[in-house]
Amino acid sequence: MKDYLTLDDFPIKNQRILVRVDLNAPMDPNGKILDDKRFRSHIPTLRDLEEARVVLMAHQSRAGKKDFTTLEAHAKRLSQLLRREVGYVDDIFGSHAREAIKAMRAGDVLLLENTRFYSEENISRSPEEHSKSHMVRKLSPLFDLFVNDAFAVSHRSHLSVVGFTEFLPSAAGRLMEKEIDSLDKGVRGNEHPSIFVLGGTKADDSIKVIQNVFQRGGVDQVLVSGVVATVFQMAAGVNVGNKNREFVAGLDYADQVAIAKDLLEKNPGKIVVPTDVALERDGERLDVAMDKVPEDLLIADIGLETIVDFSKRIREAKIVVLNGTAGIFENEKFALGTTEILKAATESAFSIAGGGHTSAAIEELGLESKFSHVSTGGGASISYLSGDLLPGIEALKRAAQRWRK
């Protein structure tokens, strides 16, 4: 039994359901939505709620940014994807919004205004504190059920994410359920070989993930690339060259080198570092052995031998979890490591990719349909893999305990 409730635990027909979704999207200066990937991720949940009266809460950007705007365009895009009208009201919990909600019939879908237009939405508070807000007090009596389907913002203790769980029976939507199930499968590593592949520049995040998965004991190997690998090479006493040492120092990762050293010593043979790397010299790619890195050139990708080695290990894995790119993916000359690793992952038995740059690379390569799961959350997925408790999910668990009693 899950420690949270899902849509399967509640009646749906003609129920009044408040759903937190994540429709935050890149927009051009004219207010046109450039990418509707997050919209599409909520379709399974909305399809399952077709016989209910569904009110959606979402945000777009944040105050001070150029794309901090209304959700009128979002309602139109959602209407196109659902092939049914999604109403829009330029109000969150005022009388205009409440009257529109009361007038709804079974099958209706209504999108409320950008939640971040209400200043209290953006303050991190406990669910109990948020439940006392005007938003929760005004809207809660109008609903039978709260559904959180916004995994990507559930690492934030924001009002629309955690406030309603104190008053309303609460469930995870289909996307939230899939995120939790998939990421849990990766962290548990119950099938072997189970491999984590961690790259990118955020070495502190990746090291926290490594600590968590080794503590749990299910993962067989961690393959590191990018700045994460540079930190582990330094921890192993490898001369990475002055340019790369300066780069790591500039990111303030001196403490991470010490933690990496401890991880290497406590987990011999489990953390696999590149044997060769690609350097950037006058804009060109230069592959060299790891112990031949000159003092003045920056590591920009994993080398060809490492690509072959990592790809073989990944293809043979029963479970592979990836987060972060292997090199400067935006530069065609240094995209090879990331490209080959992602292609190899599609051939493993079960592949999970974190959000952010990883999902962007997957989408650019057209590999999304070949992955078992591509997370919609960058910060949320790395927090979950790190073993952090996500406020949005914890609020659902507490609501489930109350409901079951």
Question: CB–CB of 117/92 below 8 Å?
Answer: yes
DSSP letters spanning 284-330: EEEEEEGGG--TT--EEEE-HHHHHHHHHHHHT-SEEEEES-SS-TT
The pair of three-digit structure tokens given for residue 272, joined into one six-digit string: 């696999």
Overall size of the chain counted in residues:
405
Tokens 């990719």 found at: 353
Give the pLDDT confidence of 175-195 residue by residue, as tens digits.
Answer: 999 999 999 999 988 899 999
Based on the domain organization, do 13 and 91 belong to the same domain? yes
Asked if residue 357 belongs to a known ligand binding site, the reply is yes
* Separation CA 13–CA 133 (nearest Å): 29
340: in domain: yes
In-domain check, residue 356: no
Question: How confident is the model at residue 293, as a pLDDT?
Answer: 97
89 shares its domain with 22: yes
Number of domains in the chain: 2
Residue 130 has pLDDT above 90, yes or no: yes
Considering the domain boundaries, does residue 208 fall inside one? Answer: yes
pTM: 0.94
Question: Poorest-confidence range of 39-53, 88-102, 293-307, 352-366?
Answer: 352-366
Half-sphere exposure of 91 (CA within 13 A, CB side): 12
355 is in an annotated binding site: yes
- The pLDDT score that the predictor gives to residue 87 is 98
The Cα–Cα gap between 367 and 374 comes to: 10
Binding residue per annotation — 356? yes
> Is position 402 annotated in a ligand binding site?
no
Whether residues 281 and 340 share a domain: the answer is yes
The label of the residue with tokens 């962007």 reads 360
Q: Is 60 one of the annotated binding-site residues?
A: yes
pLDDT number for residue 113: 98
Q: How far apart are the first and last CA of the chain?
A: 15
- Is 16 annotated in a binding site? The answer is no
Q: Which two tokens stand for residue 82?
A: 């659902």
Domain that holds residue 285: 192-348
Q: Is 113 annotated to bind ligand? A: no
State whether 82 and 213 are in the same domain. Answer: no
Average pLDDT over residues 282-307: 96
**Is 38 annotated as contributing to ligand binding?**
yes
23 labelled binding-site residue: yes
Is 330 marked as binding a ligand? yes
Residue 358 lies in a domain: no
In a shared domain, residues 254 and 341: yes
Same domain, 199 and 87: no
371 domain-assigned: no
